[in-house]
């Protein structure tokens, strides 16, 4: 929809949502001022950590589901290259209750659990299919579609929305032991008390079953490419501290701090793409509605910590024959991810060369416990625990350096991603996404595709469409 005259939109945040919205607005003849608190980084929680000799690892987004066609659209348009991301590898390990097995032998670990007779001999995938998968299959077409609406309408989905994942699994008659086996084996043990509908929604749209790709050269190439296309480049080091709007003048403005000085920029609309933990501390005048303020206060955000290690060789390929994929554990390290760039060629020269692997990827309270430690201590303890899975790590010369990142402690994030607690889809989501006068909202939290780059991009397009419609009315 075209606005009657060129608009000026102020955009708070140069993450994927802000950059995408700016690109689409400029394409339609409008102008933008993009304010970004970071001094050098664009992309928000798309952040690639780079090391010597071209090595890199992802502190944030690291994979693109096959079903995320919007993300793939921009990747292709911007001339970026994809390669397969190895999500599942039967040669990777599962470590539970002190025992290590290959993924293809995961059912052997069931002997360590007090499983009910009907649960014995089943893998985590089997248990998932027999519980959450079965519940989804029992839903009607309309009920499944209801999972994707701004506010659920059917009583079935509203009832399911009140359940945590743990409660849904219990309702499907899984024992506590089976729930632990499933949760650790699927990497969702820290998400058991969050909303079951988050998982039903991802299962419905086949996020985890159709395969994944990754951006060659690092995920940050996507936001950098988006920023390069813009006529109005993000204003870096511009920390937004106040949002304002004047209904009579039909304007919105941001007050920001840049190089120690307060500045103000005004536009026809303001698009706020900042994560809600950041929005919570920003002044807004006139004050936001009670419903919006409650959504900002209460929306669930999960934690995430990643600990990366640069190694002198790919011992997981040379010794363990693991080419990509993830290892799942009940250790403090959570999951471990191996680079998949050599999964097809299996070139021994690549295996013998230095590489980066994601030694520890954790969510929830596990991630927060790592965040309480300084990086050096954090990485030492993580590698010590992971040596139970990979004894090679006990040798002092295997790891050359480490890096880590926690999103809770990053001042411009305050959390890793939005993830509903029970009841929040029904009670909060419509207030999360609703505009407040001339102020609109975008970001993965303003979508139902939480955690993913796709969610940020989807929300940007919705916000652009709604601002242009409002300008035309």
Structure confidence at residue 125 as a pLDDT band (50, 70, 90): very high
Tokens representing 95? 């470590």
Fold of the 104-204 domain: Guanine Nucleotide Dissociation Inhibitor; domain 1 (1.10.405)
Which of 113, 139, 137, 203 has the alpha carbon at shortest distance from 165?
Answer: 203
The mean pLDDT of 167-179, rounded to a whole number, is: 98
Q: Is pLDDT at 312 greater than 60 in this prediction?
A: yes
Domain locations along the chain? 8-44+219-299+421-472, 48-88+212-218+302-406, 104-204
Structure confidence at residue 470 as a pLDDT band (50, 70, 90): very high
Domain 48-88+212-218+302-406 class, CATH top level: alpha beta
Q: Is pLDDT at 3 greater than 80 in this prediction?
A: no
- Give CATH superfamily name and number for 8-44+219-299+421-472: FAD/NAD(P)-binding domain (3.50.50.60)
Structure confidence at residue 2 as a pLDDT band (50, 70, 90): low
Q: Is pLDDT at 1 greater than 60 in this prediction?
A: no
Mean pLDDT of the chain: 97
Q: Buried b / exposed e across 375-414, counting CB within 10 Å, b at 16+?
A: eeebbebbbebbebbbebbeeeebbeebbbbbbbebebbb
Model pLDDT for residues 132-160, shown as the tens digit of each residue: 999 999 999 999 999 999 999 999 999 99
Model pLDDT for residues 14-38, shown as the tens digit of each residue: 999 999 999 999 999 999 999 999 9
Q: Confirm if 56 and 49 have CB atoms less than 8 A apart.
A: yes
Q: Is pLDDT at 310 greater than 90 in this prediction?
A: yes
Model pLDDT for residues 361-372, shown as the tens digit of each residue: 999 999 999 999
What was the pLDDT predicted at 98? 98
The mean pLDDT of 225-232, rounded to a whole number, is: 97
Reduced to 3 DSSP states, what percent helix, strand and coil does the chain have, rounded to the nearest 5?
40, 25, 40
């Amino acid at each position: 929809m075209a606005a009657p005259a060129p608009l000026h939109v102020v955009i708070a945040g140069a993450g994927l949502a802000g950059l995408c919205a700016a690109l689409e607005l400029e394409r339609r003849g409008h102008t933008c001022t993009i304010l970004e608190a970071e001094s050098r980084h664009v992309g928000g929680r798309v952040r690639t950590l780079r090391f010597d000799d071209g090595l890199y690892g992802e502190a944030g987004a690291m994979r693109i589901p096959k079903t995320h066609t919007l993300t793939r659209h921009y990747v292709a348009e911007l001339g970026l290259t994809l390669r397969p991301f190895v999500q599942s590898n039967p040669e990777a390990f599962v470590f539970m209750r002190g025992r290590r097995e290959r993924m293809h032998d995961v059912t052997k670990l069931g002997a360590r659990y007090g499983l009910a007779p009907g649960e014995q001999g089943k893998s985590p995938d089997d248990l998932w299919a027999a519980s959450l998968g079965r519940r989804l299959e029992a839903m009607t077409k309309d009920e499944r579609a209801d999972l994707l609406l701004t506010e659920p309408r059917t009583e079935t989905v509203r009832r399911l929305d009140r359940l945590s994942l743990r409660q849904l699994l219990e309702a499907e008659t899984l024992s506590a032991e089976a729930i632990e086996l499933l949760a650790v084996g699927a990497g969702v043990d820290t998400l058991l008390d969050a909303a079951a509908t988050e998982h039903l929604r991802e299962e419905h749209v086949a996020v985890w079953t159709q395969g994944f790709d990754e951006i060659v050269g690092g995920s940050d190439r996507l936001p950098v490419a988006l920023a390069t296309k813009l006529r109005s480049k993000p204003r870096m080091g511009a920390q937004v501290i106040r949002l304002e709007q004047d209904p009579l003048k039909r304007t919105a403005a941001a007050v920001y701090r840049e190089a120690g000085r307060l500045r103000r920029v005004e536009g026809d609309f303001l698009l706020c793409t900042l994560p809600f933990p950041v929005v919570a501390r920003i002044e807004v005048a006139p004050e936001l509605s009670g419903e919006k303020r409650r959504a900002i206060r209460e929306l669930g955000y999960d934690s995430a910590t990643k600990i990366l290690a640069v190694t002198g060789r790919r011992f997981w390929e040379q010794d363990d024959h693991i080419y990509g994929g993830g290892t799942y554990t009940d250790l403090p390290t959570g999951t471990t991810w191996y680079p998949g760039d050599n999964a097809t060629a299996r070139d021994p020269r690549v295996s013998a060369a230095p590489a980066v692997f994601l030694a520890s990827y954790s969510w929830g309270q596990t991630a927060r416990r790592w965040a309480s430690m300084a990086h050096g201590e954090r990485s030492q303890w993580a590698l010590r625990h992971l040596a139970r899975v990979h004894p090679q790590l006990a040798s002092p010369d295997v790891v050359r350096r480490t890096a880590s990142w926690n999103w809770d402690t990053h001042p411009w994030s305050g959390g890793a991603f939005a993830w509903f607690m029970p009841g929040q889809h029904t009670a909060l989501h419509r207030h999360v996404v609703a505009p407040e006068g001339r102020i609109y909202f975008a970001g993965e939290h303003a979508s139902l595709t939480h955690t993913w780059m796709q969610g940020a991009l989807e929300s940007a397009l919705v916000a652009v469409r709604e601002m242009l419609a409002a300008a035309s009315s």
